[in-house]
Amino acid sequence: MPHVDELGGTWDLRVAPHGPVPEQAEALAGVTVPAWVPGCVHTDLMSEGRLEDPFRDDNEIAAAWIGRTDWQYRRDVSWSGPAQERIDLVFEGIDTVADIALDGVALGSTRNMHRSYRYDVTTLLDGVPRPLTVRLTSAYTEAERVRELLGPRPNAYPGPFNFIRKMACSFGWDWGPTLVTAGIWRPVRLEGWSTARLAAVRPLATYDGTGSLDLTVDVQRTRECDLRARVLLDGREIAGLDLPGGATVAHAVADAGEVTPWSPRGHGEPALYDLTVELLDGDRTLDRWECRTGFRTVAIDRTGGGFVFHVNREPVLIKGVNWIPDDIFPARMSRERYERRLREAADAGVNLIRVWGGGIYEDRAFYEVCDELGLMVWQDFLFACACYPEEEPLYSEVVAEARENVRRLAPHPSLITWCGNNENLWLREPSGWPGKPGGESSWGEKYYLETLPAIVAELDPSRPYQAGSPWSGGWEHPPNDPDHQTHHSWEVWNRQDYTHYRDSAPRFVAEFGWQAPPAWTTLRDAVSDEPLLPDSPGVLHHQKAEDGNGKLARGLAPHFGEPASTEAWHYLTQLNQVRAVRTGVEHWRSHWPHTGGTILWQLNDLWPVTSWAAIDGAGRHKPLSFALRELYAERAVTIQPRDGGLVVAVLNDHAEEWTATLLIERQDTGGAVRATATERVSVAGRSVALVPVPAAVADFGDPVAELLVARLDAARALWFAVEDRDFSYDDPALTVDVEPVPCGLDVHVHAVGLARDVLLQPDRVHPEAVVDRGFVTLLAGESTVFHVRAPVELDAGLVKAPWVLTDLPSVLRR
């Protein structure tokens, strides 16, 4: 069996000799700084007190020199394991441009953050420590060199990210800082082996009544001899693959027999099986590969321009979120952090995570947790918002990167589709890229329409490929045509109010969203401005979208008017984010299966920023994250304008029929019922029914003081005929009782009159406090309980401090 010596932990870091030294780096010239591997230069310098937190104020700007500097990592290594025929030095990830040497002998160079590297160091190691150096060239230097070689190419952001195979968003995005990293960002090790090792195992597990395993094994050898690979499923041998003589590849299709299929959330059990492949030389086990996998079959029905996912031959309504790297310094990610964030998504009713193309292929732990939770994964190849050269030195890097990651991720049943890029096919014409310098040169079309689909067809035919997001299926329609396949809805937010979501029913909405600032404490921790204002310098520095605050203001105006204070701005922008997303999701869900699903932009942030995220950069939940529970619930009702009237859309994403009595009332703010109607409804599983609201109920006698309420079992929907700024909100006469309980407080709230959008902000009680719900609307006479929890004892009196607990009528009266 291979023997492994991990080389993580403490290394030495210094500014690389004989490289560019920006003025800010001069103080470090010749200085050795302790570094941690896996890690990156920024986090090492922060740990040593040599770099201010770039997340605070405008410190990001002061850290820019790091990305312009060459760096060197060093440590001594020796082989302490048993004698082996071959010793390899293995890097799972280097960020990004590196020259590697052991004891002064050059081993190789890297130019791709998204690949692993393996070097034979057998003759260079013995029991004596030898110096291992990794010299990192500035990513800017490399990208600018390639740009000079190949000529310019347009992109949507200033950085040259499209000339280097590196996490694109480290160069800055409309929600992210410009912090161009360098480092050994994934584990590194020495690996000793003899005779042969398993170089790659690629299982494609599918289900069609029984399980089938299409398995390819790649072997690396030191000698020719007859070998065998034994395949075990939950300890049961299901196949054997012979590798005679010098054979290095074996393939077989094995019958896995009666298995429980892996199913996505809401559609059954995400059943997983232990898969083991053992490489044998006679009775001797040379190597062992293990993972957990699941059996399922995936297809996309694109009939008539549609876009509906089918898993195990069953159509699945997609209730998704877009995922960006959860930290601008991805080496800081851990399995625990992945699990926390993904469980938060699952708890919000999400069933699909789209891994966006400007980030990274995530760590194995990410996909394993998705496998376990039944979260489907849409995986972009890593191209976003730019023209990408198709020539060398980039083309071969793209091919190698794609082949490695398709193989690496193949075992994961959660991964259900590969996508060629994010917005590159779409943005070319609307952005006028063909008329810009380099716009007529190669721009990536070959990658998306030829290279990548060929790789997926060869290595992973078990999953559907799509050329891009958005993409209409071919050039006969505009790439972002809402009537054909996937659509990104950004006219709303950028130029239109969110009510315009109702103007169309795209076949599949792969991106849409509305901004809001982070939680109050997250904002205050990141911005030291006094006074703190929506347009104070630090707040604007943590707003990266073009005219982002202007769009927030224009989004508030038609609904609420101008906020009276920064605190009101914070509350109202959070509320408007929820209102916008609710408008879109409920409208589009009411058109299922014409509209195959929605993928919210975005779940998470990678630093504290005003953005579209539901969970902010400090991991605090915005109210949107709680609203998703209602919007993505299996069963829900919503009142929708349709054909000049109103309908109640009964949304049943449960397998069983939903039969109950629908109650529709028009009532005033004091709870008096002005009109009512009931109807018995039966809605088949996985379907939607539209129930017209009778004219006698829908005809508002006093639109500024009445609302519609629809109830079906525990589901409820509200409809107001006028905007909030025009509605006659009376004082709801809230009463608040705070009950200390173990680990927190239970806050009991009762409303005498209509209390719309009551919100408790737990971080205003304590930075570590959390709550179990976001905005809650109480009709006259209703009550609710906010469960506030924290790892410390909480001061109950703080609940009644300003802005801890508030409601919309109170905010509009201030």
What's the pLDDT score for residue 26? 87
The reply to whether 97 falls in a domain is: yes
**pLDDT tens digits for 406-444?**
999 999 999 999 999 999 999 999 999 999 999 999 999
Compute the distance between CA of residue 656 and CA of residue 720 in angstroms, rounded to an integer.
31
- Indicate if 118 and 231 belong to the same structural domain: no
> Over 80: is that where the pLDDT of 74 sits?
yes
Q: Which of 190, 206, 241 is the last residue of a domain?
A: 190
β-bridge mates for residue 709, sequence order: 665, 718
The reply to whether 20 falls in a domain is: yes
Average pLDDT value for residue range 572-582: 98
For 664, the domain range is 635-726
205 neighbors 213 (Cβ within 8 angstroms)? yes
Compute the distance between CA of residue 455 and CA of residue 537 in angstroms, rounded to an integer.
47
Number of folded domains in the chain?
Answer: 4
545's CB contacts (< 8 A; 6+ apart) are 174, 175, 515, 551, 610, 611
DSSP letters along 381-420, please?
Answer: -S-BSB----STTTHHHHHHHHHHHHHHHTT-TTEEEEE-
Percent residues over pLDDT 90 in the chain: 97
- Indicate if 15 and 153 belong to the same structural domain: yes
Question: Which one, of 492, 711, 686, lies nearest residue 581 by Cα?
Answer: 492
- Indicate if 45 and 136 belong to the same structural domain: yes
238 neighbors 227 (Cβ within 8 angstroms)? no
Average pLDDT value for residue range 520-528: 98
784's CB contacts (< 8 A; 6+ apart) are 748, 749, 758, 773, 776, 778
Question: Which one, of 572, 571, 546, lies nearest residue 558 by Cα?
Answer: 572
Question: Which one, of 159, 176, 166, lies nearest residue 137 by Cα?
Answer: 166
Q: What share of the chain is helix, strand, coil (3-state, %, to 5)?
A: 25, 35, 40
Compute the distance between CA of residue 69 and CA of residue 38 in angstroms, rounded to an integer.
19
The reply to whether 764 falls in a domain is: yes
- Indicate if 261 and 122 belong to the same structural domain: no
> Over 80: is that where the pLDDT of 172 sits?
yes
Question: Which one, of 425, 493, 417, 506, lies nearest residue 456 by Cα?
Answer: 417
Compute the distance between CA of residue 369 and CA of residue 350 in angstroms, rounded to an integer.
14
What's the pLDDT score for residue 233? 98
The reply to whether 148 falls in a domain is: yes
The reply to whether 126 falls in a domain is: yes
- Indicate if 14 and 73 belong to the same structural domain: yes
| Interaxial angle between packed helices 395-409 and 452-459, expressed in degrees from 0 to 180 and rounded to the nearest 10 | 30
Ordered alpha helix ranges (H), 99-243: 139-150
Q: Which of 141, 172, 190 is the last residue of a domain?
A: 190
Handedness of CA 16, 606, 350, 310 (dihedral sign): negative
**pLDDT tens digits for 633-645?**
999 999 999 999 9
- Indicate if 145 and 220 belong to the same structural domain: no
Computed over every residue of the chain, the mean pLDDT equals 97
What's the pLDDT score for residue 27? 87
- Indicate if 709 and 748 belong to the same structural domain: no
**pLDDT tens digits for 24-56?**
888 898 899 999 999 999 999 999 999 999 999
- Indicate if 52 and 145 belong to the same structural domain: yes
What's the pLDDT score for residue 127? 84
> Over 90: is that where the pLDDT of 6 sits?
yes
The reply to whether 750 falls in a domain is: yes
What's the pLDDT score for residue 122? 97
Compute the distance between CA of residue 257 and CA of residue 213 in angstroms, rounded to an integer.
10
The reply to whether 656 falls in a domain is: yes
What's the pLDDT score for residue 813? 87
Compute the distance between CA of residue 88 and CA of residue 119 in angstroms, rounded to an integer.
5
The reply to whether 373 falls in a domain is: no
pLDDT band at 23 (very low <50, low <70, confident <90, very high): confident
Query: Which two three-digit tokens encode residue 379?
Result: 């995986």
Percent residues over pLDDT 70 in the chain: 100
DSSP letters along 590-629, please?
Answer: TTTTTS-EEEES-S--SSS-SBS-SB-TTSPBPHHHHHHH
Helix (H) or strand (E) holding 548: helix 548-560
- Indicate if 26 and 172 belong to the same structural domain: yes
Q: Would you state the torsion angle of the CA atoms of residues 343, 345, 346, 350, taken in this order, to the nearest 10 degrees?
A: -170
Identify the three-state secondary structure at position 734. coil
Helix (H) or strand (E) holding 559: helix 548-560
pLDDT band at 618 (very low <50, low <70, confident <90, very high): very high
- Amino acid 708 reads L
Determine the distance from the C-alpha atom of residue 82 to the mean position of all C-alpha atoms in its chain, rounded to a whole number: 43
- Indicate if 698 and 718 belong to the same structural domain: yes
**pLDDT tens digits for 682-740?**
999 999 999 999 999 999 999 999 999 999 999 999 999 999 999 999 999 999 999 99
What's the pLDDT score for residue 18? 84
**pLDDT tens digits for 366-391?**
999 999 999 999 999 999 999 999 99
CATH number at residue 240: 2.60.40.10
- Indicate if 130 and 271 belong to the same structural domain: no
374's CB contacts (< 8 A; 6+ apart) are 262, 263, 264, 265, 266, 267, 269, 270, 346, 351, 414
| Interaxial angle between packed helices 566-589 and 548-560, expressed in degrees from 0 to 180 and rounded to the nearest 10 | 80
CATH number at residue 75: 2.60.120.260
- Indicate if 681 and 708 belong to the same structural domain: yes
Question: Which one, of 638, 661, 805, 785, lies nearest residue 716 by Cα?
Answer: 638
> Over 80: is that where the pLDDT of 814 sits?
no
What's the pLDDT score for residue 539? 98
CB-CB neighbours of 205 under 10 Å:
27
Which DSSP state fits 34?
Answer: E
Average pLDDT value for residue range 539-548: 98
Identify the three-state secondary structure at position 667. strand
β-bridge mates for residue 227, sequence order: 243
Query: Which two three-digit tokens encode residue 194?
Result: 């003899």
What's the pLDDT score for residue 29? 87
Identify the three-state secondary structure at position 422. strand
Q: Which of 234, 262, 293 is the last residue of a domain?
A: 293
> Over 90: is that where the pLDDT of 365 sits?
yes
